[in-house]
Amino acid sequence: MGDVAARLAEIVGDKNLLIGDAISEDYAHDEALSTTPQKPAYVAKPASTEEVAELLKAASEYGVPVTARGSGSGLSGAARPQADGLLLSFERMNAVLEVDADNHVAVVQPGVTLAELDAKTAEAGLSYTVYPGELSASVGGNVGTNAGGMRAVKYGVTRNNVLGLQAVLPTGEIIRTGGKTSKISTGYDLTQLIIGSEGTLALATEVIVKLHPRLTHGATVLAPFGDLDQVMAAVPKIISSGLAPHILEYIDNMTMAAIVYNEKLELGVPEEIRNTCQAYLVVALENREEARLHEDIETVGELLSELGAVDVYILEGGSARKLIEAREKAFWTAKAVGADDVIDVVVPRAAMPQFLTKARELAMAAGGGALGCGHAGDGNVHLGIFCKDPETRKKLLTDIFAYGMELGGAISGEHGLGRTKAGYFSDLEDPAKIELMRRIKQSFDPAGILNPGVLFSEGKA
Amino acid sequence: MGDVAARLAEIVGDKNLLIGDAISEDYAHDEALSTTPQKPAYVAKPASTEEVAELLKAASEYGVPVTARGSGSGLSGAARPQADGLLLSFERMNAVLEVDADNHVAVVQPGVTLAELDAKTAEAGLSYTVYPGELSASVGGNVGTNAGGMRAVKYGVTRNNVLGLQAVLPTGEIIRTGGKTSKISTGYDLTQLIIGSEGTLALATEVIVKLHPRLTHGATVLAPFGDLDQVMAAVPKIISSGLAPHILEYIDNMTMAAIVYNEKLELGVPEEIRNTCQAYLVVALENREEARLHEDIETVGELLSELGAVDVYILEGGSARKLIEAREKAFWTAKAVGADDVIDVVVPRAAMPQFLTKARELAMAAGGGALGCGHAGDGNVHLGIFCKDPETRKKLLTDIFAYGMELGGAISGEHGLGRTKAGYFSDLEDPAKIELMRRIKQSFDPAGILNPGVLFSEGKA
């Protein structure tokens, strides 16, 4: 162990290697509600791609498991290290290397936060459009989980907005994939394979992201509905309208009550409507021209009324921003009101009413509850699960995931499997696919040093 | 050999297995200009996923190499079979299984042509937005090469528009990847890995494609420029405008002359302008509202004038359609005027002027020529290469590809490597990446039966 520490310290320098008590509690977990914190044996903070490569070579040689960490804001435990492992923190590799306005791309190091990237791209009138809700999240972490967020309904998720990577293979080779171009048909798409692999295949050390023109005019409509089915039926109609909202969210009435209370929001919805409506739809539009935005917002309002909204509230700048920010904090709200887990099943969007009805029935039958909100345009349902007993909860989640898959969906739309969902994946996924994924893992990481226990449940399948 | 034929005939039925003289010349090639046609030993036409699985199991057992074929319209030889091989033609698996308007997806068999899919989706007011220019192309073939086309500048390429697959592994297992949903973070993205793998990893037997609302109002602007550099400098400005053209193409003056002559086009450009301009930009816009379209077309026209266009022609319905169709036939035009090869290097779009200048210099120095047009918004340069001597041409292409890669680009933006570019890929690509891709190939296809000689050059790297 002393040998390993000495070797790692040689690579990153003494003050960038932490061992024993120098490792703070923060490094023992991410934000997943259902993992047990675990301090690693070593925390290394490399400053360059070359140092990352040397660290991985050393880890391979000594058989030390390696977990990568960005900001630690993940929700499924993919950044929770192993007791005998090395936590490789990208906190020092946090530079925006380039904002290239002609090619509409930025090149960043993985430790850059979304807030920093947003500030830099704003200067060029551009925007990186992946907003998973947590602006302290790192781009590298977003690549790991294929993060999504509210604007995915218009702009897609991380994999639709990352054009290329520099990455280090667990065997120490440094490769470049993709480039500053939106199309390449030249061999297998390694960029897409590494995105969403949760630190199990390779570690990204540079990320080329796509930028969009920053549209300056935006407005938000809030529409309460008497009935959740009506909300869901409205979604495909809004998409078909061609109005291209960049946010299309539903929030159930309990969740809305909790976020209004927690964030002290004043949305102008009268109490009798709040008491009778079952769910809300939030629709936000943006445009490069103010006049068109106003026209389109009127059109959306009329459409929502036709589709059964009890009323339609056009939110002005400040309250619109607060509502979106409050929605982004829905995870923290769920945590504050005592949720035992949060899940983000994705189903075909037309199947959302069925899925939600069944998930709630299952939760009630288990003596618990399931409340939430979600990316309605994407069929991505975020539920806080209230069910104290671990065994009952495991059975409940298994049933909910199985039903989502039966509807043609998947366990996670954007949080990833991490440690918390890996067991369900092993139990529910087609064994032929898991075997294929294990062989792919093997082709990158023959020694199995990258994030064991994540994505693939240990000792299963 | 008799044994193999008998087994294959048992699977697909006698009349759906061709051997010997029953195999027509058509099956010996695709549309690549530089491959030698080669008839396969067997052509099988399965009718179902199960038959495809049985064929692959039989091929594995007998060690028969398998090449998949859609419509045979590929440009790099990926559908050219082996002499001792099985050509698996998807011509009978050509149904649109479902157009699902609520989820904005269609589910199709791989043999469906883009023309058929377009007709079916039009009935629902929807559109599959990948238009690689050849409407007789099959969706399965598009998945194989990750086909692009003119509308990619707005809608992306095949990989951005395919949400899921049913696929058969070379070992015979049938898997489903992705689904009717635009985001999934649940294990490695096998959909994206199979797309663009040119029939070397698995064969898609069902494809879930994303549909968009069909916008009915469209208009096209043609702008001649004195100077190619001006054309290229205009491109990022048009993208930054936020006008979101769905077509943004450049056509050099020689290529324009050839397509105008071949297609008997009358575009209204006076002779003195035609004689002095070096290149044209074609910009097409679409909108759900006619008034906005007219406003935006005016704006584009003004912008193009500011950016140095000699004049601006707004093309009406018929002539706009003819110009786009003629541009789509640029490959046939290049072939008609005697091009010895066609290439489609992709570079960061700001690097297009440098790339084009150098490619022409290299071609001239080799005693040949390089003419073309391209997807300017994507940095995807289509060049007809005129250079008769095979050895000189090989050296020329190597130099052109190497320069494209030096600029941060890749050998192919949408045609794929196939057989014709596999050798260049072996010679020019990072060996660590090729080795990794070979290991991935091995993880899917341990016996190596799927399309040997395609993507990986045989006996190299």
- Interval A100-145: pLDDT, tens: 999 999 999 999 999 999 999 999 999 999 999 899 999 999 999 9
> Cβ of A146 and B185 within 8 Å?
yes
The reply to whether residue B348 touches residue A444, judged by beta carbons under 8 angstroms, is no
Contacts of B298 (CB under 8 A, 6+ apart): none
- Could you give the CA distance from residue A117 to residue B197 in angstroms, rounded to a whole number? 33
> For chains A and B, what is the number of CB pairs under 8 angstroms?
251
pLDDT attached to residue B354 = 93
Residue of chain B with shortest Cα separation from A171: B432
Q: Find the closest chain B residue to A182 by CA distance.
A: B378
B286: chain A residues, CB-CB within 8 Å: none
Please give the pLDDT value at position A460. 40
In this complex, do B103 and A410 lie within 8 Å of one another by their Cβ atoms? no
Task: Please answer yes or no on whether A186 and B417 come within 8 Å at the CB atom.
Answer: yes
Helix or strand or coil: residue B221? strand
What one-character-per-residue DSSP string does B158-171 give? HHHHEEEEEEE-TT
- What is the pLDDT, as a whole number, of residue A69? 98
How many CB atoms are located within 10 Å of the residue A297 CB? 21
Q: Which of A196, A410, A443 shows the shortest C-beta gap to B439?
A: A443
Task: Tell me the per-residue pLDDT of B411-447, one tens digit each, with 9 for 90 and over.
Answer: 999 999 999 999 999 999 999 999 999 999 999 999 9
Which pLDDT does position B341 carry in this prediction?
95
Are B254 and B274 a contacting pair, CB within 8 Å? Answer: no
* ipTM of this complex: 0.97
Cβ <8 Å between B410 and A102: no
Give the closest residue to A38 by CA, choosing from A91, A77, A3. A77
Residue A268 confidence class, pLDDT cut points 50, 70, 90: confident
Q: Are B77 and B120 in contact (CB under 8 A)?
A: no
Instruction: For residue A242, give the chain B residue with the closest CA.
Output: B213
Contact A117, A108 (CB under 8 A): yes
Evaluated on CA atoms B269, B270, B274, B277, the torsion sign reads: negative
Q: Classify the C-alpha dihedral B258-B261-B267-B273 as positive or negative.
A: positive
* Residue A93 one-letter amino acid: M
Cβ–Cβ < 8 Å for A103, A180: yes
pLDDT at A337 over 90: no
Confidence of residue A286 (pLDDT cuts 50, 70, 90): very high
Helices (H) and strands (E) in chain A, counts: 17, 18
Residue A335 pLDDT greater than 90, yes or no: no
Alpha-helix runs per DSSP H in A241-289: 253-263, 271-276
pLDDT of residue B228: 86
Mean pLDDT, residues A397-405 taken together: 98
pLDDT at residue B460, rounded to an integer: 40
∠ CA A206-A211-A215, rounded to 5°: 150
Q: Between helices B290-306 and B228-240, what is the axis angle to 10°? A: 140
Write out chain B residues lying below 8 Å of A182, CB-based. 152, 156-157, 378
- CB-based contact A442:A408 (threshold 8 Å): no
* Joined tokens for residue A315: 């939110």
Distance separating alpha carbons of residues A44 and A47, to the nearest angstrom: 10
The answer for residues whose C-beta is within 8 angstroms of residue B438's C-beta and 6 or more apart is B456, B461
For residue B1, pLDDT over 60 is answered with no
pTM over 0.90: yes
Residue A277 predicted with pLDDT over 50: yes
- Could you tell me which residues are beta bridge partners of residue A342? A384
Residue A12: Cβ-neighbour burial (10 angstroms; 0-12, 13-18, 19+): buried
Nearest by CB: B346 against A184, A197, A434:
A184
B236 contacts on A by Cβ (under 8 Å)? 101-104
> Which one-letter amino acid corresponds to residue B325?
E
Query: Stretch B302-311: mean pLDDT, rounded?
Result: 96
- pLDDT attached to residue B461: 33
Q: Sort out which chain A residues have CB atoms less than 8 A from B186's CB and list them.
A: 410-412, 416-417, 421, 425, 429
Is the Cβ pair B440, A379 closer than 8 Å?
no
Give the C-alpha separation, B324 to B255, whole Å.
13
A103, A147, A159: residue with CB nearest B349: A103
Please answer whether residues B382 and B344 qualify as being in contact, where contact means their C-beta atoms are separated by less than 8 angstroms. yes
| Average pLDDT over all residues of chain B | 95
pLDDT value of position A228: 86
